Structure 1
Amino acid sequence: MVKILAILTLRNEAAFLLEWLAHHRAAGITDFLVFSNDCQDGTDAMLNRLDEMGLVTHVRNDGPYGKGGIQFTAYKLAEKHPLMEAADWVMTLDVDEFVNIHCGTHRITDLISALPEATAITLTWRLFGNAGIVRYADTPVTDTFLRAAPVVMHWPWRAAMFKTLYRNDGTYTKLGVHRPRQPDPARVGQARWFDGEGRELDRKFATGRVFSNYGQSNYALAQLNHYALGAMESYVLKAARGRAVHSDHMLDLDYWVERNFNTDMDRSIQALSQPMQAELEWLKSDPDLSRLHDEAVAWRKTRFMELMLEEPYRALFGRLLTTPPSRPVSQDAARFLTQFANLGRQARRD
């Protein structure tokens, strides 16, 4: 059996964890190495129970943290973990990212079989917008948020960022947020990278790129559904938690506007809806997991009410209510922006 390892870092996201786990078990991930830190909603307790059941391996990441912060400290721990050594393929993910395979039976092994020569496969984000949903509800993310950015985006480049499914063959020795790092000089020359359309990528992807070429489709074989916003209430909680890599930076409207695209309907992830629902029902049949999930849902609702008593979060919520969905930038406008980005890079070199 091909062993596919997902590495995940979590804080206060127990209300979403069971759906995420159910989906990725249905998608064919075999092992989950999950790090938690500073949880108030029972995420760590839920992970302990899942660990007892043999479904994930939970590692507490309580610090101290290196200069890379919480996430990179977790990755350094993961690099030394036995699950990493045993894995055939590895991918770092966040709980708001859902692997969405379009080929075969919609499992990750189908993607690997479609690209048998690949050292690494990029799964480009498809940004799923808020769709005007204000109140947080305990319903599956993949059933709630169905509106997304268009297949072809010309701006911003963040809309074309990817996560990497890569072969754990020693070509890369360090984990990264978007791609494996620290390539072995003796091996990287033979590395072959392919995108979600099945196209072989040029050499710069083997050593440095973190986003796909924009202005084209990148999703024919696979995409990564990115539910970065959620309901407006959930976004207020996300803002209070801080950015994933820079946790001391509060999220604001800039993050929201660059991700709130709702032009297209995309139900493709529901190709795995039946096996995901079966997995989810099985997980919730465990009394401890069911209780912990319900407690996490209640915590989110209480936490939102607490935050709304503070002016920065009340103001943010008001801005979310008044901000319309983001409008995709035209190709001509994107070219105008890109020329200044290129000029800026050239000026820094000079």
Structure 2
Amino acid sequence: MSKFVIITPMKNEGPFILEWVAHNLAIGADKIAIFTNDCSDGSDALLDRLDAMGKVNHFDNTSRRNAPQRRAYRRFMKMDLAGEDDWVIPIDADEFINIKTGDHTLQALTEAVPEARTLSMTWRLFGNSGVEKYAPDFLTDQFTFAAPEHKPRPPQAWGLKTMFQRGIWDHIGVHRPKRALVDSFAQTHWYNGSGKMMPERYMTESWRSGPDSVGYDLVQLNHYAVKSCESYLVKKARGRAHHAGEALGLEYWLKMNRNTVEDRSIDAIRPRKQAIFDELLADAEVRKLHDACVRNHKQAIRDLRSQPESGALFKTLQEDMA
């Protein structure tokens, strides 16, 4: 039987790691490969402990030579973490797969589209839901308001991420695989989140869904890009984990902070996620390291709010919610 292998680059996601790992285990991920770079918030120590417990595979991806995300993807494809028939699932730490079919697992998703060998999941942008301050609660509990399904603009609203069987593609792109190992588009067996075939143009281009390819019936990718106002300050200070030197600011917030409709469909797996989360926290070392990440995040918020530039940004974010 095919396995499901999640691959993500990561930087300074400490207080959010346990929920994300628990979520992916709850939907049936067999392996979670995490490549971290330049962490300073305790993430590495927590991930090392989870690796020792067999919950994730953690790799140090720190380097000055090229963008961390692309480096992680190249390294992964040279490893034997996924077999030819296994599903490779490249997602980020602020993206949560929301499966709406069967028992809400990755297995149920692929069984719903048995012909698929490549499957795209379209983003739903989840905003800050009016939350100003950081709280160590589940992201999926705090941020329940999102962009509507029909939201072709901004372009990011219909951005996609694509899972694929390892033997079909040779290269992981940021949003979709590249360099097909088969001769024709038909042989990629590429479907969307509603189980419909994708247009042939995706063989060579496009990072987002269009009116003829968007679909949310079976799966969507909940994208918690901004979180609370306070946590956004930390994200801005960190920079984009996967694009070296690229800044974040008010423009990104305004683009990604979408709070039009309430969507709690991801709660279908909440009991499973909570049970796994509690099990992970029952380990004394995990508890200690998770709590340290939370403390570090709170301290970073205090430091940033006391600085003129980031303090002014916080006030602007508050005004945006008014």
Partner of 1:93: 91
After TM superposition, the score normalised by the length of structure 2 is 0.96
The answer on 1:295 being equivalent to 2:280 is no
Which residue identity is paired with 1:322?
E
Which of 304, 324, 327 is equivalent to 2:301? 304
After TM superposition, the structure 1 = structure 2 runs for residues 123-272 of structure 1, keeping only pairs within 5 Å, are: 123-169=121-167, 171-184=168-181, 186=183, 188=185, 190-214=187-211, 218-272=215-269
Distance 1:192 1:86, change over 3 A: closer
Which of 75, 83, 95 lines up with 2:81 in the alignment?
83
Residue 34 of structure 1, CA deviation = 0.7
Match of 1:329 in 2: none
Amino acid of the residue matched to residue 23 of structure 2? H
- Partner of 2:273 in structure 1? 276
> Which sits farther off after the overlay, 47-56 or 238-247?
238-247
Evaluate the alpha carbon distance shift between residue 33 and residue 181 of structure 1 in structure 2; reply closer, same or farther with a 3 A threshold.
same
Q: Secondary structure at the match of 1:82?
A: coil
The question of 1:40 aligning with 2:40 is answered: yes
For structure 2, the residue ranges without an aligned partner over 5 or more in a row are none
* Residues 204-262 of structure 1, C-alpha deviations (whole Å, 9 max, x = no match): 12322211114986211110000111000000000011123323122111111111111
Q: Structure 1 runs of 4+ off > 6 angstroms?
A: none
Superposition TM-score, scaled by structure 1 size: 0.88
**Ranges in structure 1 where 5+ consecutive residues have no aligned partner:** 326-350
Q: How many residues were matched structurally?
A: 322
Q: CA deviation at 1:84?
A: 3.1
Asked if the contact 1:3/1:86 (under 8 Å) is kept, the reply is: no
| 1:87-139 deviation per Cα after TM superposition (whole angstroms, max 9, x unaligned) | 61011111110000001110111110111111211100001111110000000
Deviation at 1:65, TM superposition (A): 2.4
Cα distance in structure 2, aligned partners of 1:199 and 1:53: 39
Pick which of 90-99 and 192-201 moved more: 192-201
Provide, for residues 73-93 of structure 1, a one-character-per-residue CA deviation record: whole Å limited to 9, x for no partner.
111111111103466101111
Once the two structures are superposed, what CA deviation does each residue of 1:301-327 show, in whole Å capped at 9, x if it has no partner?
1011112232221121111111138xx
Question: SS at the partner of 2:124?
Answer: strand
Distance 1:268 1:24, change over 3 A: same
Cα root mean square deviation, aligned: 1.7
Counterpart secondary structure, 1:323: helix
Equivalent in the alignment of 1:15: 15
Q: CA 1:194–1:181 in 2, change beyond 3 Å: closer, same or farther?
A: same
| Contact 1:4/1:87 (8 A) holds in 2 | no
Identity of aligned pairs, percent?
A: 39
Question: Is the Cα contact below 8 Å between 1:123 and 1:222 reproduced in 2?
Answer: yes
- In structure 2, how many angstroms separate the alpha carbons of the residues matched to 1:83 and 1:149? 35
Match of 1:24 in 2: 24
CA distance in 1, matches of 2:20, 2:166: 23
Q: CA deviation at 1:185?
A: 5.6
**Offset of residue 187 of structure 1:** 5.5
Relative to structure 1, is the Cα distance of residues 267 and 222 closer, same or farther in structure 2, using a 3 angstrom cutoff? same
For residues 246-280 of structure 1, what are the alpha-carbon distances to aligned partners after superposition, in whole Å with 9 as ceiling and x for unaligned?
23122111111111111111110000011000000
Residue type at the aligned position of 2:39:
C
The Cα of 1:154 is off from its aligned counterpart by 3.2
Distance in 1 (alpha carbons) for counterparts of 2:321 and 2:306: 24
Corresponding residue SS for 1:62: coil
Tell me, yes or no, if the aligned pair for 1:243 and 1:251 is still in contact at 8 Å: yes
Question: Per the alignment, in what secondary structure is the counterpart of residue 33 of structure 2?
Answer: strand
**What does residue 51 of structure 2 align with?**
51
**What is the one-letter code of the residue matched to 2:52?**
E
Cα distance in 2, alignment partners of residues 190 and 9 from structure 1: 29
